[in-house]
Structure 1
Amino acid sequence: MAKFSIYTVDAFSTKPFHGNQAAIVPVPSGQSIPDHTMQALAAEMNIAETSFFTPVQSEGPDEFQKSSRFALRWFTPTVEAKLCGHATLAAAHVLFNELQNQNNTLHFDTLSGVLSVSINREGKLTMRLPMDKPEPVVHNDNFKEIATGVLGRCSSSTEIALSPVLRYLVIHDASFSEEELVALVPNITTKVIEAGRRERVDLVMVTTKGSDRDFKSRVFAPWCGIDEDPVTGSAHTVLALFWKEKLGKPFFVAQQCSKRCGELDVKIVDATHVVISGNAVVVIRGELFLDLE
């Protein structure tokens, strides 16, 4: 049996049991875990993402302390994810605070390219992520089915936009209040799931302007095995551009108002990237035993 360390981390939070959970598994460069085993472990953990990172071009007993570049992969309980902000933040937190990495900035090779995470003197983490601009879609039967199931309505005032790379669907209705967003209980029927599959939707975001934050959101991803994602970093790579056009500014204080809730500082830094800042806290440290034969 091969033994690995495993951590569960609450990202976008300064205290346990808030923010979004991620399981983090450091994999030494001399070892590997098969894809099917990584997916099985993600199903076993049954939280939004289980992530695995391995040092790149570094070996030896201190590779986690000295390396600044890592290969990083994310798995939901059912699929490998193309981009996951909170689990990237959580991986960096483990490297900086649990494995005593000596660098100020880490670089992760991922399915979405190279992602960087820096740490400041107060321990706050800042990620640089690629943006994915959502484009308005025609209100066809599929999108109407999704909007009605998730939001409970779909009228001429309902905006629906889809990001082309991540396939994230944004739903916004100016008549939908913050209070309604917090109380929202989507009706995700089989028809909603099928409609999303026909449009290749990976998740859906309901968003509204905030009174005490620039904007608020909730995220639902039944197509990835996640009924509701508590705090979604990658969602804000889409929402940043959506709200820039409405608010006329490039920086935001955002809140994802799930039951666990989470706060994010979001800033558009150039034409293609956004930086997202937040904290994280380790809740569980453990050992993982895997039969890799």
Structure 2
Amino acid sequence: MPQFSIYTVDAFARKPFQGNQAAIVPVPSAYSIPDHIMQTLAAEMNIAETSFFTPVQCEGAEEFQKASRFALRWFTPTVEAKLCGHATLAAAHVLFNELQNQNNTLHFDTLSGVLTVSINSKGKLTMKLPMDKPEPVEHNDNFKEIVTGVLGRYSTSTEILLSPVLRYLVIQDVSCTEEELAALVPNITNQVIEAGRRERVDLVMVTTKGIDRDFKSRVFAPWCGIEEDPVTGSAHTVLAPFWKEKLGKSYFIAQQCSKRCGELEVDIIDAIHVAISGNAVVVIRGELFLDLE
């Protein structure tokens, strides 16, 4: 039975038990793990994302040290994800710090195209991700149902926007304070779930202007099997252009104020890309035994 290394990493964190968890499985190029086994393992791990990466165009005993390009896939407990920032950051952290990769920049082939992650002299990681600017939507019954379930109320002044690629829903109510955002307890009923499915929503985020940070947010993804995602890199590819129009700037210090909490540096670097920076820490190192039949 093949044996693989597995790591649990807290991304967007400087110490354990903060930020967002990801399980990372390096897969040597000599092996191929079937999709259903990757999905089953993600359900077994039961954290936001379980990720698998394999060296591309590099083989041999030192392939994880020498390769600069990897195929990368992400799985929630229930579905394969189209984009996941924190698990990409976690995968790069494992390559740089656990597998002693010799490069300063790594390239990942994903469902969202080629993503790059670089490391600086202080160990901080920076991802380059595609931007997904959200657009206002009609306040129909489906979106009213979602807003009411997540925020606890609906107002015609509430801003509701949807990103076209990832299908991430942005909610901003100007009366929602930082304290209210942190204390928010959504009521995700079956009606809310069905309303989101009708609009093909993948996750919903509530955001507000910050006092000690540029902006803050919470992210909920019941459609992907995640009640609340603690720190969501991909969400900031949507929040960055939203807040650029509000604040008139392109560089932000952002905080996702879940119970685990996490801080991100977000920089709109051109018309179609966002750079997101942060730290990560390995919490668990283990061995994984998989029957690949």
1:155 & 1:185 partners in 2: Cα distance?
18
Tell me if 1:104 matches 2:101.
no
Tell me if 1:261 matches 2:254.
no
Secondary structure of 2:82's match? coil
1:100 & 1:197 partners in 2: Cα distance?
42
Give the residue type in structure 2 aligned to 1:42.
A
Give the residue type in structure 1 aligned to 2:269.
V
Query: CA offsets per residue over residues 5-40 of structure 1, 9 Å max, x none?
Result: 000000000000000000000000010100000000
Report the equivalent of 1:51.
51
Trace 1:1-293 onto structure 2 (pairs within 5 A).
Answer: 1-293=1-293
TM-score (ref. length: structure 2): 1.00
1:32 & 1:261 partners in 2: Cα distance?
35
Query: CA offsets per residue over residues 141-177 of structure 1, 9 Å max, x none?
Result: 0000000000111112200000000000000011110
Give the residue type in structure 1 aligned to 2:237.
T
- Please state how far the C-alpha of 1:61 moved relative to its aligned partner: 0.3
Secondary structure of 1:267's match? strand
Secondary structure of 2:260's match? coil
1:132 & 1:252 partners in 2: Cα distance?
16
- Please state how far the C-alpha of 1:279 moved relative to its aligned partner: 0.0
2:154 & 2:272 partners in 1: Cα distance?
31
TM-score (ref. length: structure 1): 1.00
2:109 & 2:35 partners in 1: Cα distance?
17
Unmatched runs of 5 consecutive residues or more in structure 1: none
2:112 & 2:208 partners in 1: Cα distance?
27
Secondary structure of 2:106's match? strand
Give the residue type in structure 1 aligned to 2:84.
C
Secondary structure of 2:194's match? helix
Secondary structure of 2:138's match? coil
Secondary structure of 1:78's match? coil
1:228 & 1:22 partners in 2: Cα distance?
14
Secondary structure of 1:41's match? helix
Give the residue type in structure 2 aligned to 1:28.
P
Aligned residues: 293
- Please state how far the C-alpha of 1:2 moved relative to its aligned partner: 1.0
1:41 & 1:149 partners in 2: Cα distance?
31
1:157 & 1:17 partners in 2: Cα distance?
37
1:211 & 1:14 partners in 2: Cα distance?
22
